[in-house]
């Protein structure tokens, strides 16, 4: 069994001032609900279950430290607008439900941030989508038409506005959508875990080795203990396959990011743009770019088939060189600004771009195949899994079921090891002008 591991490279996590410690489960334990995986899905599911059933004992466990996994490694976007493929659906009602669910997730997270004073650089900065040249502009025009069709608010930036916000003339066109938020993901995950309801116990470094069904529910074996529970909620992302579920449905794809050191005052003058914004590329294969509230620029591009689920350290220099090239193209005036961190983070895709949400088996609930939009999607999925497990029937749960699908079966893994890298290389070649 492959388990999550931490490589001490993720810039979001490494810059945290201090991190609390949740002890490993070392003695046999009985709980009502066990939530495996303390990312966006798991944290939302544990909290919501505690809210739904305040008398229930809920245990939230993670194989590593909270914030070190995929949820703490993303680019810090909490989107309200669905991904472009969801926007392309011909069912306007379905798209409206996706947006509604995402906005509920944003509000749910913001409520906790305000209530507990979580310092995670949360802001309603919205999101930019930008193009570099003709290929990207074509994608951006299509995106604009979809926004118009859905009656969504947006703003097309002029060249002067792009220069004022981004500090670069590199982009040829950009659209700003005002919904959604930006944040520091590792800080958010730590804050959520640190402020769980009283009937939620959190445990770190508690990796699951086996799950067995019993007459009373389940026995979950970890490295040092056995956990008895009545219900299981899986927030295990791509590692769901390692637990024996969705083995031939989840395609683990890793993307990489590099983060600079904070810009000093003189470098900020040369930069000339604003703080606290984020760009996603109009072309799927392009580059994501962020400027944080604390003056760090982040570049994200490059993909690999994560058949081993974790980040091969020998790839880091090559990836960092690609990020350097993309950075220098955008900010030649900042060639003395060094990257401080380079890391990878994996998400779960499916061959037909469908997400999974529901009851895998009796009393085993899961959300898989987030399609790289895990912050909002993961949060609302965790909330609704808890509602489903608690036997609640709500409009949000019904909408969640309607916008979810059935991920198609993947080819055998030996074929994926050959085919996926070739496809990723082809997509990178097609999108080379936008990287």
What is d(CA 296, CA 298) in angstroms, rounded to the nearest whole number?
A: 7
User: Which pLDDT belongs to residue 140?
Assistant: 95
**Which run of H or of E encompasses 163?**
helix 159-166
Which residues, 6 or more positions from 172, have their beta carbon under 8 angstroms from its beta carbon? 131, 132, 133, 136, 137
Q: Which domains does the chain possess?
A: 11-72+186-248+352-404 (3.50.50.60), 127-178+251-349+409-435 (3.30.9.10)
| Mean pLDDT split into 10-residue runs, the chain, 435 residues | 92 95 97 98 98 97 97 95 72 89 96 98 96 95 91 96 98 96 98 98 97 97 97 96 94 96 98 98 93 98 89 92 97 98 93 93 94 88 98 97 94 91 87 85
20: helix, strand or coil: coil
Helix residue ranges per DSSP H, 19-73:
40-52
What is d(CA 68, CA 65) in angstroms, rounded to the nearest whole number?
A: 6
Q: What is the sign of the dihedral through the CA atoms of 306, 89, 236 and 408?
A: negative
User: Which pLDDT belongs to residue 401?
Assistant: 97
29: helix, strand or coil: strand
What is d(CA 315, CA 401) in angstroms, rounded to the nearest whole number?
A: 39
Contact indicator for 434, 286 with CB cutoff of 8 Å:
yes
Q: What is the sign of the dihedral through the CA atoms of 99, 77, 208 and 118?
A: negative
Q: Residue 52 burial by CB count (10 A; 0-12/13-18/19+): exposed, middle or buried?
A: middle
């Amino acid at each position: 069994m492959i388990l999550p591991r931490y490589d001490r490279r993720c810039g979001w996590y490494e810059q945290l001032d201090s991190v609390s410690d949740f002890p490993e489960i070392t003695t046999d334990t009985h709980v009502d609900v066990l939530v495996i995986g303390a990312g966006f899905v798991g944290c939302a599911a544990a909290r919501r279950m505690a809210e739904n059933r305040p008398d229930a004992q809920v245990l939230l466990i993670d194989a590593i430290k909270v914030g070190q996994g995929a949820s703490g490694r993303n680019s810090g976007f909490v989107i309200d607008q669905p991904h472009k493929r969801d926007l392309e659906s011909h069912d306007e009602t379905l798209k409206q439900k996706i947006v509604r669910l995402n906005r509920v997730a944003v509000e749910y997270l913001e409520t906790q941030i305000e209530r507990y004073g979580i310092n995670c650089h949360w802001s309603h900065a919205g999101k930019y989508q930008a193009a570099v040249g003709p290929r990207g502009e074509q994608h951006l025009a299509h995106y604009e038409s979809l926004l118009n069709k859905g009656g969504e608010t947006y703003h097309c930036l002029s060249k002067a506005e792009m220069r004022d916000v981004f500090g670069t003339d590199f982009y040829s066109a950009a659209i700003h959508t005002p919904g959604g938020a930006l944040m520091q993901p590792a800080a958010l995950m730590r804050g959520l875990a640190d402020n769980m309801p009283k009937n939620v116990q959190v445990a770190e470094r508690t990796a699951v080795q086996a799950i067995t069904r019993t007459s009373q529910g389940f026995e979950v074996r970890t490295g040092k203990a056995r956990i008895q529970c009545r219900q299981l909620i899986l927030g295990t992302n791509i590692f769901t396959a390692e637990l024996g579920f969705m083995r031939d449905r989840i395609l683990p794809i890793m993307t990489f990011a590099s983060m600079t050191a904070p810009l000093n005052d003189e470098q900020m003058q040369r930069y000339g743009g604003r703080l606290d914004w984020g760009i996603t590329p109009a072309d799927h294969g392009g580059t994501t770019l962020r400027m944080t509230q604390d003056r760090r620029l982040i570049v994200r591009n490059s993909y690999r088939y994560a058949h081993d689920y974790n980040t091969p350290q020998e790839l880091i220099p090559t990836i960092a060189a690609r990020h350097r090239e993309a950075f220098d193209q955008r900010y030649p005036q900042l060639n003395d600004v060094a990257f401080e961190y380079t890391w990878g983070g994996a998400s779960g895709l499916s061959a037909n771009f469908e997400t999974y949400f529901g009851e895998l088996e009796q009393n085993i609930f899961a959300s898989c195949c987030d399609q790289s939009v895990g912050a909002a999607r993961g949060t609302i999925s965790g909330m609704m899994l808890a509602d489903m497990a608690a036997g609640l029937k709500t409009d949000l749960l019904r909408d969640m079921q309607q916008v979810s699908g059935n991920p198609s079966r993947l080819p055998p893994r030996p074929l994926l090891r050959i085919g996926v890298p070739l496809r990723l290389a082809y997509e990178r070649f097609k999108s080379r002008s936008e990287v």
